[in-house]
Structure 1
């Protein structure tokens, strides 16, 4: 038999990070999670799988637009016509959703109740699916402990929404351990909640399929579900099914060999070409570019993020037209000139550096600087305040950090101008 295991659909969750840009693919950002789910249903029908398991977070929290639920029912109707059942466990985001409580789903959709763990049996396949939905979003009970013993002679699947105690970046809902799941005696654990693909083999096969569609720059790379092939002896194969419709990439560009902004842009172009080459034809990519390294061009880049982004946007338009979208361009370079080299010059530039070094430890100067700069911060528009990290340092009174951060770039730029 074969089944698809998916999780963390987050239907109609917005993709974030691109919508502020006038060149962003607005319609694609709005419909990406739906489009990915439609592709998943297409795969299920084309592959003629026996059933589909959704391990939580079908919806995206407190959404009240029933069009989201109507869309899900329509896609489940397509599965019903193909003779495919779906088994759905509600996770922490579903527990907050109005649709979870009110919509009547097609009769090929089986949902796990939240009062206690229970089992669905597919007699013809000798499959038993055990699960328990979240009643409350912040479910901190170990739900796995409440799951029933495996049914003899059956292929037992545990459907569980959990951080598994190994993912500090995810809320530790329904906590349990890998050893605990192996000890349960099920052949397969269909997990959800963690958005990264992971597999553990052993007494059981334990799988996080990841989410269907990356929604922001922290969810880079291919996304989708898994296709599981099994027989009476157990799991034979776990294959990834990629159904994402827009892919996020975090690209680091080493500016150490560069001697001008033009060379930096050329290096970025090469990385963008690599992104296009590694992405399926026709799939758009959202890219964050971080320029790093100890480089002589640090001074030229200092304060030039807007100009640099314009250069990169032009490059992306020439390379990829509708396939490349620049989420952000960040500079994280450091000056290649050492402070000792400038200090040894004994000229005005060395005097300026000495002033900066003294200023970092001068409380009176820093207090005066904060007073002057707060007038600028107070008048700056909100989007500028959010875009410039130094503004947060000014508000927090971390002026020594600001002076220390500005010094290398300014000194490098002045040295180049000289």
Structure 2
């Protein structure tokens, strides 16, 4: 006997990070969350599962129109034809306080109430599902402590939308600890809210399936749900079901061997080719970060616009409709041999001395800040938002900028001779 545990579907939530690209896969970006959910329903039917659990955040807030609800109803209709019941819990994004539009759902969909925890019993399987939906988006009470006692001799599953302990990256909703969940005496906890896959096997099995579809670079890597087997009130295997239709990836490229922009581009291109070879047919959205102590550091720093264009061109040549660059970041440092040029006894050595002392010269720093602020005042807002160095200057963090630019400038001048 088997069930699927899914969560954080966020139907019709937009994918972000590619909208500014004229060649971005607009249709795929628009329908990705729906396509991933349709894939999940297809797998559920093919695997002939006994039931489906959705542990919160089915929706991404109130619908723009009824099409979101109509799409979900159509997928539930597919499961009804296959005689697969669905147990649905609402989380912070689709809490009662967040939703003003609703539609009647097929009778195979059972919703956990928001006023108190409730139990759905499946006598034929000897399964009891316990859960409580969010009434308010900002639910900060520990809901798990008031969940019902387990049904003796049955498989007891707790369904809960929670940050759990130690997940500081997510809003602290319905907080609880692993020890508190284990103390309830259930065999499985089907959790939602945390968008990363996590699994604990102790006195019981506790799991986050993660979200079905990554929506931005912070949700990189494979995405999907969990296929759980059980027998005689015991949990067996817990396997990941990957149903995403587009995958985000953070790619670090060590360009330490490069001594020019062209060589750095070649290394980045080769890394992208290897990534595409390993990824199969799934479309990829990649953030490329160049790292390493490189002789090309100074040249790269001065030609970031050209570097980005070169990498985009290479990605277009190898990826066709399967590879897009979300962003290119530069995190290189000067090559060790170019880092100290005092022995030269020339203008480059003088420049190194000036750069080393610059951040400690209050007159120079004040003048620099004034000049930079005048320059920033003339920049378009989208440029200011896109450049971390500009944001640093606006926040009064000019010293960090001097530390970053100084070595790059020195490296570039030293190399140029």
Q: TM-score, normalised by structure 2?
A: 0.97
SS of equivalent residue, structure 1 residue 124: coil
Aligned residue number for residue 377 of structure 2: 378
Alignment coverage as a number of residue pairs: 417
Map residues 204-219 of structure 1 onto 2, 5 A cutoff.
204-219=204-219
Indicate the SS of the match to 1:92. Answer: coil
Query: For the Cα contact (< 8 Å) 2:98–2:136, is it kept in 1?
Result: no
Matched residue, 1:344: 343
- Contact 1:69–1:99 (CA under 8 A) maintained in structure 2: no
What SS does the aligned partner of 2:217 have? coil
- Do the aligned partners of 2:187 and 2:233 also contact (CA within 8 Å) in 1? no
The residue correspondences of 1:15-414 to structure 2 (distance < 5 A) are 15-95=15-95, 99=99, 102-281=102-281, 283-337=282-336, 341-414=340-413
CA contact (8 A) 1:127 1:156 kept: yes
Provide the rounded CA distance (Å) in 2 between the counterparts of 1:415 and 1:96.
64
Q: Deviations over 1:199-218 (max 9, x none)?
A: 11122111110100011111
> Shift of residue 396 of structure 1?
2.0
1:138-162 Cα offsets, whole Å, 9 max, x none, are 1111111010000112111100111
Partners of 1:328 and 1:110 in 2: how far apart?
42
Deviation digits for residues 346-394 of structure 1, max 9, x if unmatched?
Answer: 2101111222222211222211222222121111011111122221122
Deviation, structure 1 residue 316 = 1.0
The 3 A distance-change label for structure 1 pair 245 and 253 is same
**Larger deviation, residues 358-367 vs 142-151:** 358-367
Structure 1 residues 217 and 317: CA distance shift in structure 2, 3 A:
same
Q: How far did 1:103 drift?
A: 2.1
Secondary structure of 1:120's match? strand
- 1:174-207 CA-to-partner distances (Å, cap 9, x unmatched) read 1111111112111111000111111111221111
Distance 1:62 1:354, change over 3 A: farther
Q: CA deviation at 1:337?
A: 4.0
TM-score, normalisation: structure 1? 0.97
Tell me, yes or no, if the aligned pair for 1:54 and 1:87 is still in contact at 8 Å. Answer: yes
Question: CA contact under 8 A between 1:59 and 1:97: conserved in structure 2?
Answer: no
Secondary structure of 1:344's counterpart equals helix
Aligned CA distance change for structure 1 residues 96 and 301 (closer, same or farther; 3 Å): farther
Residues 178 and 331 (structure 1 numbering): CA distance in 2 closer, same or farther, change over 3 Å? Answer: same
Answer with 114-123 or 396-405: which moved more: 396-405
* 2-structure distance, mates of 1:377, 1:279: 41
CA RMSD, 1 decimal = 1.5
Deviates more, 1:302-311 or 1:115-124: 302-311
Q: CA deviation at 1:308?
A: 1.1
Asked if the contact 1:7–1:192 (Cα under 8 Å) also holds between the matched residues in 2, the reply is yes
What does the per-residue CA deviation read over 1:224-272, in whole Å, with 9 as the maximum and x for residues that have no partner?
0011111105011111100000001100011111122222122112211
Shift of 1:303: 2.7
* CA distance in structure 2 between the aligned counterparts of 1:43 and 1:164, rounded to whole angstroms: 29
Give the conservation status (yes or no) of the 8 Å contact 1:64–1:98.
Answer: no
Matched residue of 2:136: which SS?
coil
1:63 is displaced (CA, Å) by 3.4
- Which deviates further from its counterpart, 158-167 or 299-308? 299-308
Q: Report the CA distance between 1:340 and its aligned residue.
A: 6.5
Q: CA deviation at 1:338?
A: 5.8
* In structure 2, C-alpha distance between the alignment counterparts of 1:195 and 1:100, rounded to whole Å: 25
Which whole-Å CA distance do the structure 2 matches of 1:96 and 1:376 have between them? 48
Please state whether the residue corresponding to 1:19 is helix, strand or coil: coil
The CA deviation at 1:66 is 1.9
Is the contact made by 1:337 and 1:412 (CA closer than 8 Å) also made in structure 2? no
